[in-house]
Amino acid sequence: MRSWRFVSTGSVADLSVIAVLFLFLLSSFSFTSTEAYDALDPNGNITIKWDVMSWTPDGYVAVVTMYNFQQYRHIQAPGWTLGWTWAKKEVIWSMMGGQTTEQGDCSRFKGNTPHCCKKDPTVVDLLPGTPYNQQIANCCKGGVINSWAQDPANAASSFQVSVGAAGTSNKTVKLPKNFTLKAPGPGYTCGPAKIVRPTKFVSGDKRRVTQALMTWNVTCTYSQFLAQKTPTCCVSLSSFYNDTIVNCPTCTCGCQNNTAGSGSCVDPDSPYLASVVSAPDKSGNSAPLVQCTSHMCPIRVHWHVKLNYKDYWRVKITITNFNYRMNYTLWNLVVQHPNFDNITKLFSFNYKSLSPYGDLNDTAMLWGVKFYNDLLNQAGPLGNVQSELLFQKDQNTFTFDKGWAFPRRVYFNGDNCVMPPPEAYPYLPNASSRPAISLLVTILISLALLLNFAQ
């Protein structure tokens, strides 16, 4: 009689590897099912709150605050751009801590001229160093907003608008529509404005509470799908137990020779390097100018399994910048690996555990230490940052077998980094073979990967 049982020789380690893969598979499913949804930050959003602080003869004065409730996605220079469409014929008489990019046609006004008469104004933050009489709290950072996990004190940005030709009571005000947020490129989708309970403000000495006359919120969510078509980051792997260095998949972010135009990448040995790099970008945008590599990504994250101790194991992470046109300030990395529940020590990076699935804390956010390595320099000899991580082994799950020691998912600045295919992972010499289990694991990995690529 033939037996179809094949798990009888499986150890606990095998089962937990399978369990981890199932979870990964599950998260891949949920990741692909909804567009604007990030499995590692399911509640992440940017909330824009309008607090009407006073009524004026022909409208109101509102303080608009953007809160970045995303754990690890920040808005970097050149900063946010916020747009909306007025419901009626509103104008902006004046602004503090921000400005519209265009005034529009104000010819119908005699005497006082409004700051902006456009039906669909576009607002940007003011730059640092703005005179004090044009500032308000949380303004004037050039549109840069930190992420909630990295720096909650700097995760908000505000400006004040004085709106005319508008309603002058909470019954007659019409909410602005069609909000658009660029950060600075596309990626965010904003919902409709909703009236919420008026914000309460507590005075500095906590002895008095005031409140807004009227408050509405707009929620914007990010989708990598909307943001860009090509990846910007890839992962390479190596280990002490195998000489193979698994490079980033070829052509992850582009191919060297299928682009017709010159200057799509720069050879680091080129004598023209300096002139190419310092030449102003003709197209006017901040398109990356990358060093020529097989993957052509601006960012590579390398995960090296460095050492094995009896109760611990050690990993070295190196982030390399291949972009000659970008210094990454406030960079961050999000890594998913089952052993993050037992990270013992981490050198020269900041660390925060993210728990997207309640008590399963297998996901960590890492970022630079202020004034030490919080700046990831442009491509070149200084264009990398490094850290080492020490994990305590859980003897029931720990193994160097089957690529377990490599990360499941890596994000740089909130963008997914493309991993090499699992069958290419460096593997243990003489790995004990349990074919049936390995086959199942391989099928699961491939399926998970397939789904992950489909995002």
Q: What is the contact surface with ligand NAG in residues (CB under 6 A)?
A: 43, 45, 47, 49, 67, 69, 85, 170, 178, 180, 195-196, 214, 217, 219, 242, 244, 246, 256-257, 325-327, 341-343, 353, 359, 361, 378, 392, 394-395, 424-427, 429
CB of 130 to ligand NAG, least distance (A): 22
Provide DSSP, 369-425. Answer: PTTTTSEEPPSSTT-EEEEEEEEE--TTT--SGGGTTS-SEEEETTEEPBPPPGGGS
CB of 383 to ligand NAG, least distance (A): 10
Nearer to ligand NAG, 134 or 223 (CB): 223
Nearer to ligand NAG, 247 or 332 (CB): 247
Partner residues linked to 221 by β-bridges = 189
CA distance 117 to 102: 9
CB of 200 to ligand NAG, least distance (A): 10
CB of 359 to ligand NAG, least distance (A): 5
Range list of H helices, 192-242: 224-227
Nearer to ligand NAG, 102 or 394 (CB): 394
Neighbours of 213 (CB within 10 A): 16
Nearest to 52 by CA among 250, 183, 217: 217
CB of 401 to ligand NAG, least distance (A): 12
DSSP-based three-state secondary structure for 431: coil
Residue 448 sits at φ, ψ, to 5 deg, of -60, -40
Q: Are strands 265-266 and 290-291 parallel, antiparallel or unpaired?
A: parallel
Nearer to ligand NAG, 114 or 121 (CB): 121
Give the up-direction half-sphere exposure of residue 33: CA atoms within 13 A in the CB hemisphere. 8
Greatest Cα-to-Cα distance within the chain, rounded to the nearest angstrom: 99
CB of 255 to ligand NAG, least distance (A): 6
Nearer to ligand NAG, 9 or 421 (CB): 421
The whole-angstrom distance between residue 374's C-alpha and the CA centroid of its chain comes to: 15
Residues 416, 231 contacting (CB under 8 angstroms): yes
Nearer to ligand NAG, 134 or 256 (CB): 256
DSSP-based three-state secondary structure for 96: strand
Nearest to 39 by CA among 58, 25, 49: 25
Nearer to ligand NAG, 52 or 95 (CB): 52
